[in-house]
Amino acid sequence: MNIGELLGIEPQELQFPFELRKQISCSIQLSNKTDSFVAFKVKTTNPKKYCVRPNTGVVLPRSTCDIIVTMQAQKERPPDMQCKDKFLLQSVITSPGATAKDVTPEMFNKEAGHNVEECKLRVVYVAPPGPPSPVREGSEEGSSPRASVSDNGNLSASEISAASRAFVEQPESQDKLTEAALISKLTEEKNSVLQQNNKLQQELELLRRQANRSSTSIPLMYIVVVGVVGIILGYLMKKI
């Protein structure tokens, strides 16, 4: 906390996890230590680079107020991740019941006899946290989990499980894809065989019908021939 008499400020060092082409924000909390209404104003050495909301306002007695400072997306990484930007937070006691609309630049004019407290805040860039590594550094590639434990004694069971999954997941998913493709192919072949079987059954039924027609037409012709022969013989017998 700041040792000022009016406002406590936390933090007094603005830390931005620097990333290229990305807006980054951090917050400042102001705590009113007094029983009076305290007006504040925030200034910066690089106003085009930062957006402060709110940059002016009033903190009620024994209460707090949050300020959001947003750094615009940067196209270049600064040398050695160093930043020379600074912020100045000014505070002054104002009239009871005052609001942010009542705050004017004249209130922070020391030459006019106003008792203005000031606190300078520096800007610090920090590296963003990197993704966790599934395998502990220094472990030999291709070594078994049991060998790693016996060699150094530092690899936990959860780390062994995570490392195993990292190497098993991709082949396992590949096997599932191969199995799915095989099942699909077998299904297609089964459907093709069923279609051919149905077609053969239809052709066989057609042949049966044709055979039945042929078998029934032979006796009919035989009966007709026998009948004609009988009529002729009967006619001849009458003649005799």
The model's pTM = 0.53
The token duo for 237 is: 């017998």
pLDDT for 72 equals 96
Residue 47: φ, ψ to 5°: -65, -25
- pLDDT of 28 > 80? The answer is yes
Higher confidence at residue 232 or residue 161? 232
Contact 55/9 with Cβ under 8 angstroms?
Answer: no
Among 59-68, 122-131, 223-232, the minimum mean pLDDT is found in 223-232
Contact 87/120 with Cβ under 8 angstroms?
Answer: yes
- pLDDT digits 0-9 by tens, 71-112: 999 999 988 899 999 999 999 999 999 999 999 999 999 998
Interior/surface letters 158-188, b for 16+ CB within 10 angstroms, e for the rest: ebbeebeeeeeeeeeeeeeeeeeeeeeeeee
For residue 79, the tally of other CB atoms under 10 A from its CB is 6
- pLDDT digits 0-9 by tens, 128-169: 776 666 656 554 444 444 444 444 444 444 544 443 443 333
